[in-house]
Amino acid sequence: MSLTFTLDPAVTPALRDGILDLWADVSNAGGAVGFVPPVARDTIRPELVKHFVGMAEGRTRLLVAHDEAGQVAATAFFTFNTHRLMTHWVWLYTVMVHPRHQGKGYGRDLLAAAADAARTFEGIEAIRLTCRGGLGLERFYGSCGYKEVGRIPGAIRVAPGDDRDDVIMLLPLA
């Protein structure tokens, strides 16, 4: 089994529904992609629409992976900065691998493909992202070459009494 990566796929109903299913399944399995379980597709849909609007406006680019069955298996969204002094690096958001495919090295493949893609972006020298503390994600990103460069204590309130650090990770592309 292997994944097929596509940068800037055409936004079709199948892609939209596939990403919604992926995002809901990942979230409901406890993944740290902006929601806490239980979450419905309709709650996630506006966040996906925001990504699509960014893509239509050229501010966001999508790297998607399909599995051999043709299902959407993984995503990572790049967002460019509008601040004129920060156009030399890019944000990476909504990094996720479907729960049925996790733990097989696909996350690392996804991040390697994201770095390769970002190297083709004009003038981009680094990838920055944030992740939720307390899940071991720093170790995952560390295994992909990212370094922790900052941490905001308790910035993410996943539930009353359960605050998590917002961890800032950076990958220089040189």
Ligand X SMILES: CC(C)(COP(=O)(O)OP(=O)(O)OC[C@H]1O[C@@H](n2cnc3c(N)ncnc32)[C@H](O)[C@@H]1OP(=O)(O)O)[C@@H](O)C(=O)NCCC(=O)NCCS
Interface residues toward ligand X, by CB under 6 A: 26, 31-33, 95-97, 102-108, 131, 135-137, 139-140, 143
- Minimum gap (Å) between residue 30 Cβ and ligand X: 7
Query: Which of residues 58 and 91 has its CB atom nearest to ligand X in the complex?
Result: 91
Residue 147 and residue 139: Cα distance in Å, rounded?
A: 10
Query: Which of residues 24 and 32 has its CB atom nearest to ligand X in the complex?
Result: 32
Burial 17-51 (b: 16+ CB within 10 A, else e): ebbbebbbebbeeebbbebeeebeeeebeeebeeb
Query: Which of residues 15 and 65 has its CB atom nearest to ligand X in the complex?
Result: 65
Residue whose Cβ sits closest to ligand X:
107
Query: Which of residues 56 and 147 has its CB atom nearest to ligand X in the complex?
Result: 147
Q: DSSP label at 24?
A: H
- Minimum gap (Å) between residue 29 Cβ and ligand X: 7
Residue 155 and residue 165: Cα distance in Å, rounded?
A: 5
Tokens encoding 136 = 């071991």
Tokens encoding 109 = 């493949």
Residue 159 and residue 164: Cα distance in Å, rounded?
A: 10
Query: Which of residues 33 and 72 has its CB atom nearest to ligand X in the complex?
Result: 33
Please report, for residues 32, 95, 99, 119, the alpha-carbon distance to residue 26 in angstroms, rounded to integers and kept in the order given: 8, 10, 6, 28
Is the distance from CB of 36 to CB of 27 less than 8 angstroms? yes
- Minimum gap (Å) between residue 143 Cβ and ligand X: 4
- Minimum gap (Å) between residue 16 Cβ and ligand X: 19
- Minimum gap (Å) between residue 15 Cβ and ligand X: 18
